[in-house]
Structure 1
Amino acid sequence: CEVIPNANDFVSCLNACSRLNDPGLALSLCLRDPAGVSHARRAAVDYQRTLVREMNAAEPSILHGDHIKYLMLDDAEGTGIIASTVTGFLYPDHPCIVLNHSDGKIKISARGTKYQVASGLDLAEVLRIASESVGGRGGGHSIASGAAIPKGAADAFISTADSLVGAQLGGEPQ
């Protein structure tokens, strides 16, 4: 018998343990130890609250490129989830790129939708080319990718990424 029978709840708890840097708790769940279940569920709820706070703080800061939506944040949690929320719910016609100033560099998460990918979007290529153009590195998957670039390179990165997305999707600026 699983200590958390619902697979989605189990994954949420494991993810929260990882994000909150508590691998021991995650391991205890995987080993089916019921002692940590309530703590893990609390951790999952706390992490979800953190993400909601981050999203609420980020929403007014959404910037509009010609072909993308993007945000510039400082030491934010859950940038991939923020990007997914923006493109999945707020602006489903645009990929979203989140730039997060952290640890002396800019870490980037980008998310698109299945529809955008079917229309030609390849965020792995966009992030690889745009990040390399400013001395960084990036890649991933067509629908979800990441990169790291040097501080001070955000504007040039965004300009290149926006142009690349426009070329891939063949769209007029919106």
Structure 2
Amino acid sequence: MAFFGSYTELDSIYRQVYSEWDASTFGSWYIVGVGYGLSVEWIPGESRWTGNRYKLGGSLLWSPLTVSGLLSWMDYPDNLMVDYAVSVRLDLARRFYSFVEYDGESFDVGSAIRFKYMTLQSSYRFPDFGVGCSMEFLLGGVSAAATYGFVEQIWDWFGVSLSKTVRKKTIL
């Protein structure tokens, strides 16, 4: 189970509150999950609209190879937006992994190296040039991460996250 929430604003022009619940289960060779999100967006003093997001995802595990897919759709009052992504990941000796992701428009290619209490990751986007870097610190089931990147048409972005593992079961 996971919960995600965000608040976004663009000066005094636009606001968005988004929250999402996700759930997944796994076995020795698969992972499957579903999600639901609600977006409330508005222009202060003007109009307001909401959208519902639905997600389905899954992975097939053939150690050290993982093949994954995600399908999501969001229904706004006058618009249906459908997104998908597929990926392949190669995990070597639990210390290094590399991946390729495709979302219908671009490829992300990246790799990471894991240390006992830290993971460093970098990724590159093509054909629109983009770069992303992240650093994650792990201690006793608690993870704190920071990510920085940019894409050709999008301004720089920065993200932080904090998570706690409630129950851990090794499947690989």
- With structure 1 as the length reference, what TM-score do the two structures score? 0.30
* Structure that is richer in strand per residue: 2
* Structure that is richer in helix per residue: 1
Higher relative contact order (CA 8 A, sep 6+): 1
